[in-house]
Amino acid sequence: MRKGIIAEELGLKYPIFQGGMAWVADAQLAAAVSNAGGLGIIGTANADGKFVREQVQKIKTLTDRPYGVNVMLLNPNVEEIAQVLVEEKVPVVTTGAGNSTKYLKMWNDAGCKVIPVVPSVAFAKLAERNGAYAVVAEGTESGGHVGELTTMTLVPQVVDAVSIPVIAAGGIADGRGIAAAFAMGAQGVQIGTRFVTAKECHVHQNYKDKILKANDTSTMVTGRRLGHPVRQIKNQFSREYAKIEYTDISNEELDAFASGKLRMAVFDGDEKNGCFLAGQIAGMIKEEQSCQEILEDLWTDAERVIEETYKWVK
Ligand code: TUI
């Protein structure tokens, strides 16, 4: 199968991005994905500029292939990080959880290819107007911070609304998802949850096991009241949060209740108190594999699906 324009322009073997997952996607995971022919993306969550510079310098020692850095726009250190990415001449910058307008020019001027993650047509058009290279249209099936629209409805509407390339995300973990994304007009995909279980991913084994044991209804969304809906695997933490979310608890107390819980999941594997971000497709992921195995498997599976589905229109 031809790898397509976006992969050619970015210098990738496969048009497959690894999501820049908060506290999960470090330089080690991103380098493994880039070395295997996808686009590895370092997640920066709430980190500071120093941490991001160290991660970028580390990935430069681990791979000669293109890579990206995701900027979480709710991060109070975003200005400092934006500058680090310019100084380090990061090839691809993706953004999430907010409006990237303020930073697009400085990153474009520095030669970074900027690819905002968008939850709606309006944000996709805004990104295009401001000079984005492409957009990731991310459906609510995703793990972590989510919008309202599904991948099935969002991707074709974004494809129709903009002329820049569209990458589909949310609910994709195998060749069927990739084939569906191509059918909807996307030129590539971004995958998160499946890479959490990658052998090169450093998360606590309990986090991987939660995904490997999940089924189709294992995730839920909390945080709508504060305007930051987050999809995660159901556990004691998510149930307790849901129980208090619409009581008379103050916003500050609610925020404090969730603070640090993702790190408890990632680093301590705290099954009761941790917040295990994962997408709705977690139920499909049944084995730990290397990044190379994941990418090869995804691509051969997509080729097979596309050949087989042709019979339905012949
Ligand atoms: O960003 C993500 N996923 C994330 S970020 C994250 S860390 C976090 N920490 C604390 C609170 C919330 C999150 C974990 N997972 N995905 C990309 C994404 N961006 N999905 C949806 C959006 C989005 C939402 C609103 C993009 C733009 C947007 O604009 C709203 C506005 O008013 O600017």
pLDDT digits (tens, 9 = 90+) for 76-128: 999 999 999 999 999 999 999 999 999 999 999 999 999 999 999 999 999 99
Residue 3: pLDDT above 90? Answer: no
- How high does pLDDT run on average in the chain? 97
Say what the pLDDT of residue 2 is: 76
CA of 98 relative to ligand 1 center, distance in Å: 6
Provide mean pLDDT across the span 216-239. 97
| DSSP annotation of 219 | E
Helix (H, G, I), strand (E, B) or coil at 61: helix
Is 8 a residue whose pLDDT tops 80?
yes
Q: 46 CA distance to ligand 1 centroid (A)?
A: 12
In 3D, which of 130, 129, 166 has the Cα closest to residue 151? 166
Name the closest-CA residue to atom 1, ligand 1.
96
- Assigned token pair, 303: 């080729």
pLDDT at 292: 98
Query: Which residue ranges have their beta carbon within 6 Å of ligand 1?
Result: 22, 45, 72, 74, 96-99, 117-119, 123, 138, 144-147, 228, 230, 277
pLDDT tops 80 at residue 1: no
133 contacts 114 by C-beta, under 8 angstroms: yes
pLDDT digits (tens, 9 = 90+) for 129-146: 999 999 999 999 999 999
Please name the residue whose Cα sits nearest to atom 20 of ligand 1: 146
Rounded (to 5) percent helix, strand, coil in the chain: 45, 15, 40
In this structure, the strands spanning 166-169 and 135-138 are: parallel
Tell whether the torsion through CA atoms of 158, 159, 165 and 169 is positive or negative.
positive
Token pair, residue 274, equals 């941790």
Written as six digits, the tokens of 216 are: 């189709």
**CA 265, CA 13: separation in Å to the nearest integer?**
32
Of all protein residues, whose CA lies closest to atom 22 belonging to ligand 1?
97
| Cα 85–Cα 143–Cα 26 angle in degrees, nearest 5 | 35
Q: What is the pLDDT of residue 309?
A: 95
Report yes or no: 200 and 290 within 8 Å, Cβ to Cβ.
Answer: yes
Q: Can you tell me the mean pLDDT for 188-201?
A: 98
Measured from the Cα of 70, ligand 1's closest atom is 1
Using pLDDT thresholds of 50, 70 and 90, give the confidence band for residue 160: very high
Atom of ligand 1 nearest to the CA of 45: 7
What pLDDT is stored for residue 4 in this prediction? 83
Q: What is the DSSP letter of 117?
A: E
pLDDT at 191: 98
Query: Euclidean distance between the first and final Cα of the chain, in Å?
Result: 19
Decide: helix, strand or coil at residue 305: helix
The Å distance, Cα 116 to ligand 1 centre, comes to: 11
Above pLDDT 90, what percent of the chain? Answer: 98
Q: How confident is the model at residue 75 (pLDDT cuts 50, 70, 90)?
A: very high
Residue having the nearest C-alpha atom to atom 9 of ligand 1: 45
Q: Which runs of consecutive H residues, i.e. helices, occur in the chain?
A: 5-10, 27-35, 49-62, 78-87, 101-109, 121-129, 151-161, 175-183, 193-196, 205-213, 236-245, 251-258, 261-263, 291-309
Look at residue 39 in the predicted model and tell me its pLDDT: 98
pLDDT digits (tens, 9 = 90+) for 24-35: 999 999 999 999
pLDDT at 314: 85
Q: Give start and end residues of each alpha helix (H) in 162-200.
A: 175-183, 193-196
